Chains A and B, each alone.
Chain A
Amino acid sequence: AQSVTQLGSHVSVSEGALVLLRCNYSSSVPPYLFWYVQYPNQGLQLLLKYTSAATLVKGINGFEAEFKKSETSFHLTKPSAHMSDAAEYFCAVSESRGYSTLTFGKGTMLLVSP
């Protein structure tokens, strides 16, 4: 069985500060890992994904994440927060087989202050 833990339901940063959103996963097989962003009253937009190629993955809007197998982590970072980054972020895992459904964490709300 696979699972995702996102540490911190809310993270507050100042505009221009480093963003770090934490994600740890559990999977019995090599995982695919994803970060999605959700703006209020909208669906989920894919930020980036890890699919067993490079361990450092770059996504849209300046976000990146690093896959660390030894730590079972896939933390999301952005060097400098922008007001428009305020949203809810979800980490998700799927198994790298023919098809697989996504298992999501509970999400982290990113708050950005001026």
Chain B
Amino acid sequence: DTGVSQDPRHKITKRGQNVTFRCDPISEHNRLYWYRQTLGQGPEFLTYFQNEAQLEKSRLLSDRFSAERPKGSFSTLEIQRTEQGDSAMYLCASSSGTSGNTIYFGEGSWLTVV
């Protein structure tokens, strides 16, 4: 059983460029989440998918952010026109929706905007 997989693990980009992160959830999990974590803080919720439907978005998810989950499998998180304030770790997580809604996290994708 493989866990939640994220790619790339690290990304350095220049301000104004677009970046995309990919997440592959645990295979039988129909629920997928994106969180953002900045230094010294706990993770903050960004968005949630059930299968291919995006059911909830945080107000943290500005218009420059877009997330998709085509076919209810992997998901992508794209950030357009990156800003230095976007520098953070982007965590993907998944759950099956049963057993107390336990959410399993990936290793995260570090973004540094220079």
Contacts and interface: CB of A to CB of B under 8 A. Distances in A.
B65 interface: no
Given A44-B91, A51-B100, A101-B33, A90 B42 contact: yes
A46 B40 CA distance: 19
A6 B9 CA distance: 28
Interface of A: 4, 9, 32, 34, 36, 41-46, 49, 51, 90, 92, 94, 96, 98-107
A51 B44 CA distance: 22
Contacts of A34: 102-103
A42 B10 CA distance: 11
A55 to B, nearest CB: 14
Given A102-B33, A104-B43, 18 more contacts: A34-B102, A34-B103, A43-B106, A44-B43, A44-B105, A45-B105, A46-B102, A46-B103, A92-B42, A94-B101, A96-B101, A98-B97, A99-B31, A101-B33, A102-B43, A103-B45, A104-B44, A107-B40
Nearest to A106: B42
B54 interface: no
B73 interface: no
A27 B33 CA distance: 21
Interface of B: 4, 6, 31, 33, 35, 40-45, 48, 50, 55-56, 91, 95, 97, 99-108, 110
B43 A90 contact: yes
Contact of A99 (B48, B91, B99, B107): B48
A46 B42 CA distance: 14
Contact of B45 (A90, A102, A107): A102
A43 B106 CA distance: 6
A100 B102 CA distance: 10
11 contacts: A36-B105, A42-B108, A45-B105, A90-B43, A96-B100, A99-B31, A99-B50, A99-B55, A101-B33, A102-B35, A107-B42
8 closest cross-chain pairs (CB), A and B: A51-B100, A104-B42, A44-B105, A43-B107, A43-B105, A101-B45, A43-B108, A106-B42
